[in-house]
Amino acid sequence: MSKTYAFGVDIGGTTIKMGLFETNGKLLEMWEIPTRTEADGKFILNDIAQAVDDKLKEKKISTLDVEGIGLGVPGPVGPDGTVFKCVNLGWDVFNVEHRLGVLTGLRVKAGNDANVAALGEMWQGGGAGYQNIVMVTLGTGVGGGIIIDGRILPGINGAAGEIGHLPVEDNQPETCTCGNQGCLEQYSSATAVARSAQRYLDEHPEAETSLRGVQNIEAKDVFDAAKQGDKVALELTERACAYLGKGLAMIACVVNPEAFVIGGGMARAGEILMESVRRNFKQKAFHASRETEFKEAKLGNNAGIYGGVRMLLS
């Protein structure tokens, strides 16, 4: 039997999002605190513990009524709660569940932030009603999280779900942020779409397109132009979606999910993106996976705190 309350915590590079929930999924209050990354991030867990303690005192809630703290971490987390380095936080290898548990006196469950966000979407978001989903986040990079039978699939050291680094192209001279070449996020992230657009304009000065009048092109500009029928923009968006459809077809061969849940800033392009990804997926997918559902994420930046609470209840 679950206790009445729980905390969901999502650690970002600049802020830590925190939520006080009832364990039935109702968000009671949400707030943020700064992420203090100085001194190798040694203040982060203390700050979280203090914020939890302050909220319990403010609401007059006993720790006996709290299920625990579910924590999303921007890096690989093993099944036992060991963090395998978080470069942008300054963290090395240590057991974050144990350390935060000592500081708070509460049970702590931790997972990679993308995986935890996927769990949140399955529970209260775009994946509600499913037990097997793959979350895809399209932003600066391409992130992901895999949920099988209602539980996060973390992999042996927390690196499962790194779908942005699927090798989808052999002829890519540029290096991805991971050090490899030809990764999915070099083609299908918002960063990649914007970069491809600028490169196209530079290499085709004769091309007529509304994008030529846009300064500091972003992916949104490209999709907006595509919605207006701009041929260059349509070509660029179709290329990004073709690679994404190919990557998701690979994933479906391995985990055979009920649904892909698409989120992140670029997902706000809506049906023009979803239709193209679905179509390209079906062209590449194994026949038994072709009817996999595609859903839009609903929780936005709050998916991580919802997923943290759901992780406690798993």
Q: Compute φ and ψ for 101, nearest 5 degrees.
A: -65, -40
Same domain, yes or no: 86 and 140 = no
Are 92 and 212 within one domain?
A: no
Structural domain count of the chain = 2
Question: Once rounded to an integer, what is the mean pLDDT over residues 258-272?
Answer: 95
Same domain, 208 and 272: yes
Q: Are residues 37 and 167 in the same domain?
A: no
- What is the average pLDDT across 170-189? 94
CATH number of the domain residue 187 falls in: 3.30.420.40
Burial of 257 (0-12, 13-18, 19+ CB in 10 A): buried
Strand pairing partners for 136?
A: 144, 262
Q: What is the pLDDT of residues 105-127, one digit of tens each?
A: 999 999 988 899 999 999 999 99
Q: What single-letter amino acid sits at 144?
A: G
Q: Is residue 191 part of a domain?
A: yes
Domain that holds residue 46: 5-123
| Residue 303 falls inside a structural domain | no
Q: Which of 43-47, 112-116, 155-159, 200-204 has the lowest mean pLDDT?
A: 155-159
Least Cα distance to 2 among 20, 25, 19 occurs for 25
Q: Is the pLDDT of residue 78 over 90?
A: no
How would you list the strands of the sheet with 66-73, edge to edge?
Answer: 27-34, 15-22, 5-11, 66-73, 108-112
My answer on whether 111 and 136 are in the same domain is no
Tens digits of residue pLDDT in 29-68: 999 999 999 999 999 999 999 999 999 999 999 999 999 9
141 and 250, same structural domain?
yes
